[in-house]
Amino acid sequence: MARQPRIVGIGGTQRPNSSTELLVRAVLDICEKHGAHVQLFGGEELSALPHFDPYSKERTEAENEFVEAVRQADGIVIGSPSYHGGVSGLTKNALDLLEDLRSDERPYFDGRPVGLLVTAAGWQAGGVTLAALRGIVHAMRGWPTPIGVAINTIEQKPFGPDGALIDEQLHAQIDAMAQQLAIGCIGLSQRH
Ligand X SMILES: Cc1cc2nc3c(=O)[nH]c(=O)nc-3n(C[C@H](O)[C@H](O)[C@H](O)COP(=O)(O)O)c2cc1C
Chain residues binding ligand X by CB under 6 A are 13, 15, 18-20, 81-85, 119-122, 125, 153
CB of 90 to ligand X, least distance (A): 10
CB of 73 to ligand X, least distance (A): 22
Nearer of residues 119 and 173 to ligand X, judged by Cβ: 119
Nearer of residues 85 and 111 to ligand X, judged by Cβ: 85
CB of 181 to ligand X, least distance (A): 21
Smallest Cα–Cα separation from 18: which of 92, 105, 117? 117
CB of 157 to ligand X, least distance (A): 11
Smallest Cα–Cα separation from 121: which of 159, 152, 164? 152
Output Rg (C-alpha) for the chain, integer angstroms: 16
* CA–CA gap between residue 192 and residue 188 (Å, rounded): 7
* CA–CA gap between residue 28 and residue 50 (Å, rounded): 25
Smallest Cα–Cα separation from 167: which of 156, 175, 155? 156
Nearer of residues 7 and 22 to ligand X, judged by Cβ: 22
CB of 188 to ligand X, least distance (A): 29
Nearer of residues 13 and 39 to ligand X, judged by Cβ: 13
**Is residue 90 within 8 Å of 97, Cβ to Cβ?**
no
* CA–CA gap between residue 112 and residue 59 (Å, rounded): 25
Q: What is the number of H-type helices and E-type strands within the chain?
A: 6, 6
Across-strand partners of 82?
87
Nearer of residues 97 and 150 to ligand X, judged by Cβ: 150
DSSP summary character for residue 110:
T
Nearer of residues 21 and 74 to ligand X, judged by Cβ: 21
CB of 150 to ligand X, least distance (A): 10
